[in-house]
A and B are shown apart, each in its own frame.
Chain A
Amino acid sequence: DAMVIQNPRYQVTQFGKPVTLSCSQTLNHNVMYWYQQKSSQAPKLLFHYYDKDFNNEADTPDNFQSRRPNTSFCFLDIRSPGLGDAAMYLCATSRDAAGGTKTQYFGPGTRLLVL
């Protein structure tokens, strides 16, 4: 089945130690998104790629970066994780087409723990 895959499902890192989360998709969607979801809160968009075009949300900290080497893969890099960055990180994809509704499909998420 076509899907959005996130690895790992759980990631533990140390305070200040760079960490990379990965997302891959077999849907061949042209848009990929990264959301942050803290405990008991709704998901919050960090940034998204429209094809190769990177779109950052205004309030996303500089500590968060992203890379999209090809259509299928997208990475979230946290350069210096702080305790406040502990959260679930969700990757989503959508196919932007004329007249389309941009329905997003989410991966299972990676839960990040910062020690």
Chain B
Amino acid sequence: DAKTTQPPSMDCAEGRAANLPCNHSTISGNEYVYWYRQIHSQGPQYIIHGLKNNETNEMASLIITEDRKSSTLILPHATLRDTAVYYCIVSSTMDTGRRALTFGSGTRLQVQP
């Protein structure tokens, strides 16, 4: 799987947008970018994924650069409950199930009141 690089930690003020960057410079053409988050002592929670186009759902927006070498997860109005470790992961869709998510170190987002 392509490797990802994320800042180890970030702070964000409550109510403001949280922008979490991720570099995946070795991503290949058929690999999706996934974002998960893990709140303390819980299982990882799926947030969003994308291939080339920007994506938005009820939780977040995903902005992928045109060359696909980096992406940004945007939480538009961060709340205290968004405090978590955010993982950016790339995973191929071509395999028949023999691959899984390879988690990197993630970014610990602390939302401040």
Give the interface of A toward B (CB within 8 A).
4, 6, 30-31, 33, 42-45, 48, 50, 53, 55, 88, 90, 92, 96, 99-109, 111
Tell me, yes or no, whether B44 is within 8 Å of chain A by CB: yes
Query: What separation, in Å, do the CA atoms of A45 and B20 have in the docked complex?
Result: 24
Q: Which residues of B contact A109 (CB under 8 A)?
A: 41-43
Contact yes or no, B46 A103, CB < 8 A:
yes
**Alpha-carbon distance between A23 and B97 when the two chains are bound, in angstroms:** 19
Name A106's contact: one of B32, B34, B45, B98 (CB within 8 Å).
Answer: B45
Inter-chain CA distance A4–B105, complex, in Å, is 24
A-B contact count (CB 8 A): 61
**How far is the CB of A100 from the nearest CB of chain B, in Å?**
7
Dominant secondary structure at the B interface: loop
Cα–Cα distance between A50 and B100 once the two chains are bound (Å): 11
- Number of residues in B with C-beta < 8 Å to the partner? 24
Decide yes or no: A96 and B46 within 8 Å by CB, A42-B87, A42-B104 being known contacts: no
Q: Which 10 A-B pairs have the closest CB atoms?
A: A106-B43, A50-B97, A42-B103, A96-B97, A106-B44, A109-B43, A45-B100, A108-B43, A43-B103, A31-B97
User: Is there an interface contact between A44 and B96, defined as CB atoms closer than 8 Å?
Assistant: no
| Contact in complex: B43, A96 (CB < 8 Å) | no
A8 to B34, CA, bound (A): 28
Shortest beta-carbon distance, A5 to chain B, in Å? 11
Quick check: is B13 within 8 A (CB to CB) of the other chain? no
Q: Which residue of B lies closest to A30 (CB)?
A: B97
Bound-state CA distance A92–B100 (Å) is 10
Q: In the bound complex, do residue A100 and residue B97 qualify as a contact, i.e. CB atoms below 8 Å apart?
A: no
In the assembled complex, the Cα of A103 lies from the Cα of B36 at a distance in Å of 10
- B residues 56-113 in Cβ contact with A at 8 Å: 87, 91, 93, 96-106
| Complexed CA–CA distance, A107 and B3 (Å) | 25
Is there an interface contact between B100 and A104, defined as CB atoms closer than 8 Å? yes
B32 partner residues in chain A, CB cutoff 8 A: 101
Partner among B43, B87, B93, B102 whose Cβ is within 8 Å of the Cβ of A45: B102
